[in-house]
Structure formats: C-alpha cells, structure tokens
Amino acid sequence: MVGPTRSSKRAPNARARLSLLSGLISAAALPVGIALARELRRVELLDAAFAIPVAALFGVVAVLLARNARRRIERTIGRVGGERPAGAGRALGVLGLCMAVSGTIAVALYEVLARSD
C-alpha cells in the first residue's frame, strides 16, 4: 500500500480562503457600521460612512485574491482546489464594492441636499 504522493494530495489554496475572508469583511462592513451607529446613540447614522472605505478596500482585495487563486487553480490543473471559496470570495467582494459605491452615492447626495437649504 502506497501513501499519497506529493502530486496526488490536494494542497490548500490560501488565496482562495483569504479571498473568502476578505469578501465576508467587505460585505459585512456597511451593515456592521450602521448597526453600531444605531446602537451607540451618540453616533449619527451619517458617521457610519467610515465603513465605506473599509468595504471598498476589502472588496478590491477579495476580487484580486480570487483572481490569483483561480490562476493558481488553472496552472495546477485543479490539483490545488479552492474553486468554491474563490468564487464565493469574488462574489462577496463584488457585493461589498457595490455596497460601497451605493453608500458613497447616498452620502454625497445627502451632503448636496443638506447644503442646498
């Protein structure tokens, strides 16, 4: 009985896992910021805008890591694994980026309307 060889073992794809983690942080940044603003009464809802750059940064990181993870999967002909975490990380990263763009538009519109009075 022969044990698994180096080429037959599935090596972990750290980039795929990091992409998933970054995507989760990106997608959760704005809801967590809003929840904190509502929980802490001395903080206005507009102060939750600090989460916009966090969501954008982690969203970009998630998309880039997912792209690198997919390249590694292709180079190793699928031996590395991590297709699902890389896909989920990319999707969550794009979601976080969309939320960051929406938050930026909302804050900018609020500022324009507040200054027009």
For 42-77, write each residue's pLDDT tens digit. 778 788 899 999 999 999 999 999 999 999 999 988
* 3-state helix, strand and coil shares in percent for the chain, rounded to the nearest 5: 75, 0, 25
Burial degree of 41 (CB within 10 A; 0-12, 13-18, 19+): exposed
- The whole-chain average pLDDT of the chain stands at 89
pLDDT level of residue 9 (50, 70, 90 thresholds) = low
* Residue 9, in any domain of the structure: no
If one counts the domains in the chain, the total is 1
* Residue 5, in any domain of the structure: no
pLDDT of 79: 85
Ranges 3-7, 21-25, 93-97: which has the least confidence = 3-7
* Residue 83, in any domain of the structure: yes
**pTM for this one?**
0.84
Residues spanned by the domain of 44? 14-115
* Residue 8, in any domain of the structure: no
